[in-house]
Amino acid sequence: MSSGPRYVRYLILAALTICTFFVFSRNAIPIPENIGSKIDTYKGAISGYTSSHSDNASPEQPVTHAPSSSVSAPVAARVNATFVTLARNHDVWDMARSIRQVEDRFNRNYHYDWVFLNDKPFDETFKKITTALVSGTTYYGLIPEEHWSYPEWIDQEKAKKVREDMGQKKIIYGDSESYRHMCRYESGFFFRHPLMMNYEYYWRVEPSIELLCDIPFDPFRFMKENNKMYSFVLSLYEYYDTIPTLWDSVKKFMGAYPGHVAEGNSMEFLSDDGGKTFNKCHFWSNFEVGSLDWLRSDSYIDYFSSLDRDGGFFYERWGDAPVHSIAAGILLPKEQIHFFNDIAYYHIPFTHCPASEQLRLDLKCHCNPNDNFDWKGYSCTARYFDINDLEPPEGYPESN
C-alpha cells in the first residue's frame, strides 16, 4: 500500500504547478493610454461629433470588465485587434451562444478583447453573462445619439412613407426604422467609436452565429502579415428592391473622387459591364475581419459621407453589406480582399463549410459539406475566384 503517500505527493505537486502557472501567466489587459488622442485624430471626420461614453465612463477611462478566471496569452503574441458586436440587452442569450462558439473554436487560445456597442446602456445581466464567457477584456460602449438618428438633411416624412410602402410589399426589414439606423451605423460609425480607436483590426460577430470548425491560426495576424484590408466567408446577391439607386450614388462618388478608386480593384466582382450597372454581388458582412485604419481612411470616409448625403439609408434600405462590399471592391486593390476558406461559418440561412474532406477532418469540423453555399447559384464566391485567377479550393465540385 506504499502507493498512497506517493499519490498524495503527486496531487500536492500538481496543485503547486497549477498555482505557479496562474500566478506567472495571468496578465490583465490595461486600459489603452492613447485612446483619447486617437479620438481627437478622427473628430474632424465626423460632422457634429461628440465623444460617446462607455455607459457612465469617459472615453479615456471606459467601463471594462476583465474576466475573473482566465489566463491571458502574452500581449506580444496578439495583434492589436478586437471582436466587435452591435447588440441589445435582449440579445444576451443569443450572444452567449456566439461567444461560446468563438471562444471554444478560437479565442480561448488568444484572449482577444471584445467591444460591445448599443444605442441604449447595457444592463448588468448582459455585462455579467458576456464578461463571464469572454476570455479577453470586455468593453461596453454607448452609441452617441447623433450616430443613431436622422441627419439634418433627411426628410423624415418621406422616409416614413418609404417604410410604409416597403412594409406593404413585404420587403425584408422594409418597414423597420431601427434596422436602417443599424445599417447606417455599421456602414459609417462603428469604427469611429472611442472604444474602437485604439485597435487596428476588428472581427465582427453577431448573435446566434456558429463556427463549425476549429481555427488553429490567428486571422488577425494573417490579415496584418499579408496586408489584407477586408475578408469574408460568404457572398451572395443583394435584394435589388432595397438598393435601386445605390449604384447611381457610387458612380457619383467615383466621378467626384477619381483618386480614391484603386488600380487593379475588384470592379469585375461588382459589375458585369465595366461599372455601368451593379450586378448586386456583395460580401455578407455579418462575418468580416478587416482593417480599422482602412475604414478610417480619407477614401472610405469620403465614400461613406457621399452615400450618406444621398439619403439611401432612409429613402431606400441600403444595407451595410453592399456598402462595405462596394467600398472594398473599388477602393482596394483586389489582392487586399481575402476569402477565409478555412473558417467554417453559419448565420441563418447560409453555411460556409470547407469542401475538402481532409481539411474538415483536420479542423474538427461538424458541418455538412452538402450545406455549403459557396458554389450554389445564388452565391458570388465563384466570381471572386474567377476575377482573382485563383484555383478553386480542394473539393470544389467542378474540380472533381
Burial class (CB in 10 A: 0-12, 13-18, 19+), 111: buried
- For residues 187-221, one letter each, b for 16 or more C-beta atoms within 10 angstroms of the residue's C-beta and e for the rest, the string is bbbbbbbbbbbbbebbbbbbbbbbbbbbbeebbbe
In this structure, what DSSP letter does residue 145 have? G
Amino acid at 126: F
| C-alpha cell, 311 | 439619403
Is residue 324 within 8 A of residue 187, CB to CB? The reply is yes
Write down the catalytic residue from 225, 288, 316, 391: 288
Distances (CA, A) of 360 to 18, 99, 226, 344, 372: 34, 22, 24, 9, 12
Kindly state the cell numbers that stand for 393: 479550393
Which set of grid coordinates corresponds to residue 9? 505527493
Neighbours of 52 (CB within 10 A): 22
Q: Return the bridge partners of 70, or none.
A: none
As a whole number of angstroms, the distance between CA 359 and CA 356 comes to: 5
288 is catalytic: yes
Active site residues: 288
